[in-house]
Amino acid sequence: MLTVDLLRRSRQAWPDAAAVEWEGGSWTYGQLYRRAAGVARGLRSLGVRPGEFVAALLPNTPEYFPIYFGIQAAGSVLVAVNPLFREEEIAHILRDSAAAAIFVPERLYPRVAALAGRLPPTLRHVVLLGREVPDTVPYAELLTAGEEFPDPGVDEGAVAACLYTSGTTGAPKGALLTHANLTFDVAAILQVVPLTERDCFLGVLPYFHSFAQMGNLLLPVAVGARTVVLEAFRPEAVVSAMTGSGVTVFAAVPAMFAALAAAGQKLPTLRLCISGGAPLPPTVAAAFRRSCGLELLEGDGPTETSPVAYVTPPAGPVKPGSVGPPLPGVAVRILDEAGRELPRGQVGEVAVHGPNVMRGYLNRPEETAEALRDGWLRTGDLGYLDEDGYVFLVDRKKDLILSGGMNVYPREVEEVLLTHPAVAQAAVVGRMHPLRGETVRAVVVLRLGQTATAGELGAFCRQHLAAFKCPREVEFREELPLLPTGKVDKKALRQS
């Protein structure tokens, strides 16, 4: 099955049902299909061939839906570009992917225009959403190219999307996800998570990210549900959209759930909340449960697994700190440094095997070979399996702190700090030390109106943790640096 078949089926089943809504407008499934068909045929009319890469430099907008499906209906490969990227970061992705075209809104066009002379020769077309500009293709013209999907000229083994990882250990690299990868992930999630055409999703996660594309684009389209699109996360706007549109399903990152818990608003129509994209602190899950009366179901998986590899089933049990068991058809092993499988309960690197695992990294054969060994993806996550097969993620392998020969998992220290009544946010990283190798450094944001000292927080940690795990340095900040996905930017913290 191709990803575009998900839209084709929902258009056939519910042509007049609402598919995408936003402030001031909406499309039915019939209208969304026709819009995506216009994008697909428009790309073909421009000479974009099946298998070529097409970039989307877009903020959260309802147009992400027809552009996503339109690119893939043309047999081309979607390259999602973070709209917060600056010129050189955009240029890297366009060069690395040899993109043939790029979709860009008027307000972001100056970043592309500033790259004149530095764009790859493969880039033949800039499709502009907005007013007409010389040497660009008006998006509105593409939409008039046709109302039925063309023959995409590819099969389910073809690459559908090239999604760039965050680049915390270097330049971003593109994970190649096939149609089969993505449609398998959709089907496997739906075996575990009950979703129907009666549901309404809120799309506020940034759509360039794999979690948003799966949780707030492919899944709702697969079941014929509605999606309400918001450009940015603001608690008051989210609450208003949820109550006004009858949102039932919310897939988001922990920081968003923390903000909603703090807002203290009741959300009577909400029935299912899935947290992913970053570790879920138990304090956030508990606060959300108290405030909104709902259990947060944690799921996870790297972009390389399309991206969901494990999810807590709504039928339970819910195990705090666990991202749930592997999806049906997905296998997980815990490996030691030599690649040997470890028994249940022992911490090692999480490896994933299944039809959702990427084809490889674009233009990175050595890194592909390192990540994919004997069909198993080495995720770079450290974790363990419990007796029921639930996955517990301890930390990222690259975030592990080796202090005096002892392993320190930053997430464990962060979760202790977050239980202190004065602490709103906490991030823990290593700092190189000439004798100890690394020392533990905590960066903390205090709650409004609360006070605490470095000594007080250090003493608090020593009540709950072995001494070698406790921060030797505590820095207070007004806010933590965040990646667009809502994760703390630990690379920035380590460099500061």
- In the chain, where are the structural domains located? 26-154, 184-354+366-396, 400-495
Task: Measure the CA–CA gap between 280 and 372, rounded to whole angstroms.
Answer: 27
Contact status, residue 402 vs residue 438, Cβ threshold 8 Å: yes
184-354+366-396 has the same fold as 26-154: yes
| Rounded mean pLDDT for each run of 10 residues along the chain, 496 residues in total | 98 98 97 98 98 98 98 98 88 96 97 92 97 94 95 98 73 93 98 98 95 97 98 94 97 90 91 90 90 93 96 93 97 96 97 98 96 95 96 88 79 93 95 75 96 96 90 96 84 88
What pLDDT score does 404 carry? 67
Residues 6+ apart with CB under 8 A from 334: 341, 342, 346, 347, 348, 349, 350, 351, 383, 384, 385
Look at the block and give the residue holding tokens 């909406």.
26
| DSSP assignment letter at 364 | -
Contact status, residue 104 vs residue 59, Cβ threshold 8 Å: no
Rg over CA atoms, the chain: 23
What pLDDT score does 252 carry? 94
What pLDDT score does 166 carry? 62
Contact status, residue 486 vs residue 278, Cβ threshold 8 Å: yes
What pLDDT score does 246 carry? 97
Mode of pairing for the β-strands spanning 376-385 and 391-396: antiparallel
Annotation: CATH topology of 184-354+366-396: Rossmann fold (3.40.50)
Instruction: Look up the pTM and report it.
Output: 0.87
| DSSP assignment letter at 31 | H
Task: Measure the CA–CA gap between 455 and 474, rounded to whole angstroms.
Answer: 8
- The CA-based dihedral angle spanning residues 99, 212, 108, 64, taken in that order and rounded to the nearest 10 degrees: 70
Q: Token pair of 314, please?
A: 């709504």
CATH code, 400-495 = 3.30.300.30
Contact status, residue 301 vs residue 273, Cβ threshold 8 Å: no
Report which of 376, 360, 379 is spatially closest to residue 368, judged by C-alpha positions.
Answer: 360
Q: Token pair of 118, please?
A: 């530095």
Report which of 104, 108, 301 is spatially closest to residue 213, judged by C-alpha positions.
Answer: 301
What are the strands of the beta sheet with 53-57, ordered from one edge? 137-138, 125-129, 101-105, 53-57, 77-81, 159-164, 174-178, 360-361
Annotation: CATH topology of 26-154: Rossmann fold (3.40.50)
What pLDDT score does 79 carry? 98
What pLDDT score does 169 carry? 45
Strands (E), 41-173: 53-57, 77-81, 101-105, 125-129, 137-138, 159-164
